[in-house]
Amino acid sequence: MSARGRKGPPGAIGSQPSSLLLVGTLGVLSVVAGIAIVLVHGWAQPRIEAHQAAELRQAIEEVLGEPQRYETRWVVDGKLLDSLPAGVDSSAARPVYAGFAADGHMVGYAVPGQKPGYQDVVKLIFGYDPSTRKVLGMKVLESKETPGLGAKITSDSAFIHGFDGALAPIDGVKHPAQDPHQVDMITGATISSTTVITIINRSLEAVGPALGGAHGGEGP
Amino acid sequence: MTDRTGREVFLRGVWEENPVLVQILGLCPTLAVTNSVENAIAMALATAFVIVGSSALVSLVKDYIPSQVRMSAYILIIATFVTVVDLIMGAVAPAMSKALGAFVPLIVVNCMILGRAEAFASKNRLLPSILDAVGTAAGFSIALLLMGGVRELLGSGTFLGLQVMPHNWEPWVIMILPPGGFLTLGAILMGMSWWWQRGEKKDEAVKPRRWPHGVRAPEERRPEMVA
């Protein structure tokens, strides 16, 4: 297994190979690496996107209580539109997902939102029924909060289900929540809990009026 | 080197020169993603793929790479494997990919992998290089599983998500936070030291630890290599 019996690598210690050889070697390697990555990317990307779509679909179903079907709507400049108008940058529009029950009546909207939390951006989606101003459910899609503390916003079922039926705007309180606007926060995870509540309130400030229903003024 | 059997090459990475427990390499993933056994397994598998793939490839192309650019070439090869792993993981195991987050791309800078490429694969034929890489990957996996097992058990009271500790067990949250990683690694390394020194008498002169295979002790290094 020693070096004997084969020629040493070009440019072994002592000799000085031309720069062209050095640049060429790295160039060829880079091209091969690039091609390999492109091929794998071409295979993997559709699958990654399919996973993300499936995850979103599952989250929408969860926060709207298993609607029969849902449609994507867009809120642009405070107006609810059925499709994204041409020429509007998708970053200026917010998607909401209208869920419908089997008999055709609308259950509510699933609204995605995000905001920086304790460590990184927290992304979540929540169900909202504009006719009653009630939050139907909340699910955190992405977070990197502290394991064991802030990460409970994704796993603590008492906290998560505290949002079911809560009236907007929501106020986070120390246990026990007393009126329908209040939800219990997680002990030791104040920032993460507040982040979740703030995301819901801010999202509703932004898209709530466009969704109609009992909206218009401050509070009930 | 020539008289080493495949078995020895393999076992060296697993135990005698375990990358984490003996060489103290690759500590970033060891400390960062071992807060659960599941994460530890995923990281071990991803790293194993990269180290075996890159060692094999380095061993195949070693004769064509001028020594002046070998490091850049090895890193390029390793980075390509890591990108491939990252994409495949996202496609077939999205939950895993999400749990490991930024630590999959960071496999590139795991010095254990470059270490095997430089210290072994660049000097050996394909088969021994693969064996060496598999041994190192196995050693790395053992270390990660040890860490993940201890931390998950104490920090969450579970093993692979299954409740193991009695229900009145109050989880030591600190064990799944970064300090828990350091505490666990410290305890394991202490155990390792005891294991290596067991049976040695106190008055015996401390034997110098052997340098890892392929690395010369400082006094043996030729002056021109140090310069």
C-alpha pair distances (Å), A125 with each of B71, B151, B227: 46, 31, 59
- Provide the b/e sequence for B41-69 (b: ≥16 CB within 10 Å): bbbbbbbbbbbbbbbbbbbebbeebbbbb
Chain B nearest CA to A1, separation (Å): 5
Closest among B155, B33, B4, B157 to B106, alpha carbons compared: B33
Determine the residue of chain B that is closest to A1 in CA distance.
Answer: B2
Q: B145 with B37: CB under 8 angstroms?
A: yes
CB-based contacts of A145, cutoff 8 Å, min separation 6: A117, A118, A119, A122, A151, A153, A154, A189, A192
**Cα–Cα distance measured from residue B150 to residue B58, given in angstroms and rounded to the nearest whole number:** 35
**Cα–Cα distance measured from residue A14 to residue A35, given in angstroms and rounded to the nearest whole number:** 34
Tell me how crowded residue B81 is: count the other CB atoms within 10 A of its CB. 23
Q: How many CA atoms lie within 13 A of A182 on its CB side?
A: 10
What's the pLDDT at A219? Answer: 41
**Which chain B residues are within 8 Å of A148, Cβ to Cβ?**
155-156, 171, 173, 176-177
Whole-prediction pTM: 0.77
Q: With an 8 Å Cβ cutoff, are A44 and B124 in contact?
A: no
The length of chain A is 220
Q: With an 8 Å Cβ cutoff, are A22 and B66 in contact?
A: yes
A-B interface: how many C-beta pairs under 8 angstroms? 95
C-alpha pair distances (Å), B146 with each of B51, B96, B157, B181: 20, 19, 15, 11
What's the pLDDT at A2? Answer: 41
What's the pLDDT at B149? Answer: 92
Chain B nearest CA to A149, separation (Å): 8
Q: A209 with A127: CB under 8 angstroms?
A: no
Closest among B180, B54, B62, B57 to B111, alpha carbons compared: B54
What's the pLDDT at B95? Answer: 85
Interface with B, mutate which of A4, A21, A25 (most B CBs under 10 A): A25
Q: Does A149 touch chain B (CB under 8 A)?
A: yes
Q: How far is CA A107 from the centre of its chain?
A: 22
**Which chain A residues are within 8 Å of B223, Cβ to Cβ?**
none
Q: B84 with A37: CB under 8 angstroms?
A: yes
ipTM of the complex: 0.75
Encode chain A (220 residues) as per-residue pLDDT tens digits. 444 444 455 545 556 788 899 999 999 999 999 999 999 999 999 999 999 889 888 888 888 888 888 888 888 877 888 877 777 777 778 888 988 888 888 888 999 999 998 888 999 999 998 888 888 889 998 888 877 788 888 888 888 888 888 888 888 888 787 888 888 888 888 899 999 999 999 988 888 888 876 444 444 4
CB-based contacts of A95, cutoff 8 Å, min separation 6: A72, A73, A74, A75, A112
Tokens, residue A122: 């927290």
Cross-strand partners of A183: A172
What's the pLDDT at B192? Answer: 85
Q: With an 8 Å Cβ cutoff, are A1 and B176 in contact?
A: no
What's the pLDDT at B214? Answer: 66
**Residues B214-222: contacts with CB within 8 Å, 24+ apart?**
B214/B119, B214/B120, B214/B123, B215/B119
Question: Which residues of chain B are modeled with pLDDT < 50?
Answer: 1-2, 226-227
Quick one: residue A143, left, alpha or beta (phi over 0 = left, psi -120 to 50 = alpha)?
beta
What's the pLDDT at B222? Answer: 59
Query: Dihedral of the CA atoms A27, A29, A34, A37 (nearest 10)?
Result: -170
